[in-house]
A and B are shown apart, each in its own frame.
Chain A
Amino acid sequence: MAIMNYDVVIIGGGLSSSMAALRAASLGKKVALIQKAWGSTALGSGAFEIASEEGSYDIISAIDRIKKENPFHPYHYLNTENISQAVELLKKWLPIRMQGSYTENHLFLNDQGKNKKAAFALETQFVDFKVVSRKKILEIQSLNFLNINMLPQTLAKKLDNPEEVRKLGQEIKSKFQTSRYELILMPPILGLDFFTDMKREFESHVGIPTYELLGSINSVPGIRFQKALESAVRKAGVTYISGKAVSFMQEKKKVSSINVTSNEKNEVIEGNSFILATGKFISGGLFRDASFFKETLFHLPLFYQNQKINTESVKKLLRENYKDSQPVFQSGVKVNKDLVPLDEYNEPLFENLRACGTLLQGFDPYQDGTRFGVQILSGYKAADV
């Protein structure tokens, strides 16, 4: 059994853990990132939300409003003024470009025809309807009319080939009189690994600027972003360890090592500090079995609005109206201002463990529009302390 030692060990392979890894690496630490699989970051739409409110595009005021309305929101203890530093660090390493600003929201359109306010979007999807009029835009929400009977992921992979893009471009061109339009909006399927090149390729065939809609079901941009994150983290000198963190060892009130298993081998990863960024239910950071809610690695207590819920029945955490913010998705780990997980008496559980990302209690990542902000800010901060 191999034993390895690091300054910082990060558990989780999504956005907040990558942010933490980049930050820790930039501080000159020796960093390891344990990744079990892909999670909800790889299922994202391609847009990144910090905060939004109705009737305004201002992010700063939206953050203030959220803080006022939700006393448990992580923004209360995350330094929101750090957001520019965090984003810049992320941008510095990402091999793909994110566009946008951290003070003002943009208005995007997704492939279900819904408007979405967000601070950033991937370069190929950045069309701000606040400033662009929809009049002269050709919006193609689905490619079914071309008899393409493929899942978006498979199609995107196929369109990593310039020849296929050319064929698609010509079909679109002959189907619609593209010269009437100033801009084309496509579903986000133009390439998977080489999507910026493929966008340019497509534009050269249809002759007008082309952008992609935000993704929703089987979204491709999430996968692009996940892959980009992984390459950024690698480039920053972080060691990737693929496998599942199954258990940990502790010395007094400190975590000393993590046991990681994968198909090939078992490893023990030792570290000085640990960052937990395993996400919510999809990625298995949290799990609710027939009797308990649990945080799957450290068995941390879980909270909803500071109330411990590990043995609470699920029904009590559900609101009748589907679209309401659901307590079950707001529940998570309670932390102090240094992101150290706390128990119900507000005592730190492990001195050298921090938690970040969607694992934190207090916000519904898919409903209140603060997911990206919380992920990068908490990731940044977790590595900072």
Chain B
Amino acid sequence: MDAYDVIIIGGGVNGAGTARDCALRGLKTLLIEKKDLSGGTTGASSGMIHGGLRYLLHDVKTTETSSRDSGYIQKIAPFLLFRIPFLFLVKEKGANMELLETFFEVYDRYGKLKNSKPHVRLSHKDVLELESGLHFDGKGAISFDEWGIDPYRLCVLNAKDAELHGAKILLHSEVTDFLFQNKRITGVQVRTADGKKNQYLGKIILNLAGPWIPELCQKAGIALKLRPAKGVHIVFDRRISNIAFVTETIDGRSVFLLPYENTSIIGTTDDDFYGNPDDLDVTQDEVEYLMQAIEQIFPSIRNHRVISTYVGIRPTLYEWGKTEDSLSREHKIFDHETEGVPGLISMAGGKLASYRLMCEELTDLVCKKLNVKKSCETHINVLPGAQKELSFEELFTKAQEAKISAYALSRLYFRHGYECLMILEKMKKNPSLKRTICTSEPVLEAEIRHVIENEWATSLDDLGRRTRLGWGGCQGSECAWPAALILQEMLGIDPQKQMDIFLQKRWKSISPYLYGHSLSQEELKRQWLL
């Protein structure tokens, strides 16, 4: 039986981030995930590293720490982030622009920490000049910016770095039970994907399973209550605009339309969720609720092409008597020693933007318990791929040299950072790996082989999370089959079975809002793949 210092349950960004932190501090770490990295809440987030703008009103310190941490994340994975300029639209004619501008001036002070641009005050005319698609007759707007990130890549890179520093990553393995010794939890029982049962011993077990935290706690005889909330996003096929907008829904919540990588997304809903987090559905109502809100400011939105929807569960902390939206986004660490179950610690709540900080706090606690003196380095040590930055111009030259599309290379760089040169090297050695598998993102064969070899990808879905294969406009019509063949070649998996699972998943994600040429796309897909 293998023994570890720390066993982490849950392969979301918190799990992967904590694994990395623990590994960097020299702890013998094991990460266990029942499905795939970032397959749950992390993957369903809006993918934003924001600086805590709204905290300026009541908690300046939080804004400062959020902004500082946003700066750290930029430092450790600069390639993974992209700037999203926002326009804060001032709709009321009588609004006091001076007050608002002051607010953003204060935010600018923290903006320096996260490498943001200063705010710009825009008149009504300026706003329409910048985005003629808006329906806007308000007073003006103020711009600010936040950073977008690919949460899947962030999670995978954290796990990769953890592994580089000695952690063990165990995917597709579910924790079925805890092992006890004199009321102390000393390990876990794990069932792997092929049904084998293994046991692992750990001095400390961290329950970072997000929405599955209560279920796991129950197995340890602890009642931990969360207030899970469901969040839905809608994805459009391209960047509708380069600028993000925030608007209000019918019940006064804020939702946004945001350029995200090479798509646009609308998000998000926030509704109490009582069901099983393994079985999530996007309803038509939820989509309609979001569309109606965006339609208020962007009337042509329904003519744009929706390519998918996604849904996740926020593991929000339990509070009675509040609406979902006003629930605190704070995180909390539950040391179950206080409940008489030493050896198990859970952490719930929080947001993607502060994942690193949360992981640091948790690892500090772990180190204190294990008497390890080393302090956190996750904000200093860079993630794999951040050894060196490449500019657009350098990418352009490199693409020309390698005779591949510069756009494909820039997407590759965005996902893999400096490691894209490794993949490029592969292509130079074997030009057939330049084959474009997924046209829409685009994803070249070399990248697919790279993630299968180095990033634990074992299915079409895993490939999607790591490379966005099949996530573009055609939702896999063209790429899924060739990619399944590569999986078969490298791992010996039945491609037809892969296809069935993949097509079913994609079908589920598009069916809440299938119209326009997405319907033609589905017709084509059926003709080709059925």
State the A residues within 8 Å of B (CB).
40, 43-44, 112-114, 142, 144, 147, 149, 216-219, 280-282, 284, 287-290, 313-315, 318, 320-323, 326, 328-329, 364-367
Contacts and interface: CB of A to CB of B under 8 A. Distances in A.
Contacts of A323: 500, 503, 530
Interface stretch (B55-63, B100-108, B430-438): B430-438
Given A147-B431, A288-B516, A318-B511, A217 B303 contact: no
Given A43-B527, A280-B523, A329-B523, A290 B303 contact: yes
B284 A217 contact: no
B519 interface: yes
Contacts, number: 91
A364 B515 CA distance: 17
B526 A329 contact: yes
**Residue among B303, B512, B528 with most chain A CB within 10 A:** B528
B302 A290 contact: yes
Contact of B528 (A216, A280, A281, A314): A216
B520 A281 contact: yes
Given A149-B435, A313-B284, A322-B507, A281 B523 contact: yes
Given A217-B478, A290-B302, A367-B530, A315 B432 contact: no
Contact of A314 (B432, B434, B514): B514
Given A314-B514, A314-B515, A318-B514, A217 B477 contact: yes
Contacts of B500: 322-323
A219 B524 CA distance: 12
Interface in B362-412: none
B435 A144 contact: yes
Contacts of B503: 322-323
Contacts of B284: 313, 315
Nearest to B435: A149
B82 interface: no
Nearest to B529: A216
B485 interface: yes
Given A314-B513, A315-B514, 18 more contacts: A40-B523, A43-B527, A114-B496, A144-B435, A147-B431, A149-B432, A216-B481, A216-B528, A281-B517, A290-B302, A314-B511, A314-B514, A315-B511, A318-B514, A320-B508, A322-B503, A322-B504, A326-B526
Contact of B515 (A217, A219, A290, A366): A290
Contact of A149 (B434, B485, B516): B434
A217 B481 contact: yes
Contacts of A321: 504
B432 A144 contact: yes
B524 A43 contact: yes
Given A282-B524, A313-B284, A318-B511, A288 B477 contact: no
Nearest to A219: B528
Contacts of A329: 523, 526
B280 to A, nearest CB: 14
Nearest to B480: A217
Given A142-B485, A217-B477, A147 B527 contact: no
Nearest to A150: B435
7 contacts: A40-B524, A290-B302, A314-B514, A314-B519, A315-B512, A329-B526, A365-B527
Given A282-B523, A322-B504, A43 B511 contact: no
Sort A-B residue pairs by CB-CB distance and give the 6 closest, nearest first: A290-B302, A322-B507, A366-B526, A147-B432, A281-B520, A288-B515
Decide if the interface of chain A is mainly helix, strand, loop or mixed.
Answer: loop
Contacts of B520: 281-282, 284
Given A147-B431, A216-B481, A322-B503, A366 B514 contact: no
Contacts of A219: 528
Contacts of B524: 40, 43, 282
Contact of B481 (A112, A287, A315, A326): A112
**Residue among B431, B503, B516, B522 with most chain A CB within 10 A:** B522
A114 B496 CA distance: 9
Interface string B422-435: 00000000011011
Contact of B527 (A40, A114, A290): A40
A147 B432 CA distance: 5
A381 B60 CA distance: 77
Interface string B291-322: 00000000000110000000000000000000
A307 B484 CA distance: 39
A218 B478 contact: yes
A366 B302 contact: no
Contacts of A320: 508, 511
Contact of B530 (A40, A281, A366): A366
Contacts of A366: 523, 526-527, 530
Contacts of B526: 326, 329, 364, 366-367
A75 B522 CA distance: 25
Contacts of B496: 113-114
B514 A149 contact: no
A56 B431 CA distance: 46
A314 B123 CA distance: 41
Contacts of B513: 314
Contacts of A217: 477-478, 481-482, 528-529
Contacts of B485: 142
A219 B528 CA distance: 8
A82 B208 CA distance: 67
Contacts of B528: 43, 216-217, 219
Contacts of A114: 496
Contacts of A147: 431-432
A108 to B, nearest CB: 15
**Residue among A44, A313, A315, A364 with most chain B CB within 10 A:** A315
A294 B57 CA distance: 51
Nearest to B283: A315
Contacts of A44: 527
Nearest to B519: A281
A41 B504 CA distance: 26
A317 B432 CA distance: 43
Contacts of A40: 523-524, 527
B515 A289 contact: yes
Given A282-B524, A315-B511, A318-B511, A328 B529 contact: no
B254 to A, nearest CB: 23
Interface in B168-215: none
A182 to B, nearest CB: 26
A263 B505 CA distance: 41
Contacts of B507: 322
A281 B302 CA distance: 18
B288 to A, nearest CB: 10
A219 B529 CA distance: 11
B274 to A, nearest CB: 21
B279 to A, nearest CB: 12
A318 B508 CA distance: 10
A374 to B, nearest CB: 15
Nearest to B303: A290
Given A112-B481, A290-B303, A328 B519 contact: yes
B24 to A, nearest CB: 41
Nearest to B517: A281
A159 to B, nearest CB: 18
Contacts of A287: 516
Contacts of A142: 482, 485
Nearest to B477: A217
A243 to B, nearest CB: 20
Contacts of A315: 284, 511-512, 514
B402 to A, nearest CB: 13
A103 to B, nearest CB: 25
A219 B477 CA distance: 12
Interface string B486-523: 00000000001000100110011001111111011011
Nearest to B444: A149
Contacts of A367: 526, 530
A149 B446 CA distance: 13
A323 B506 CA distance: 12
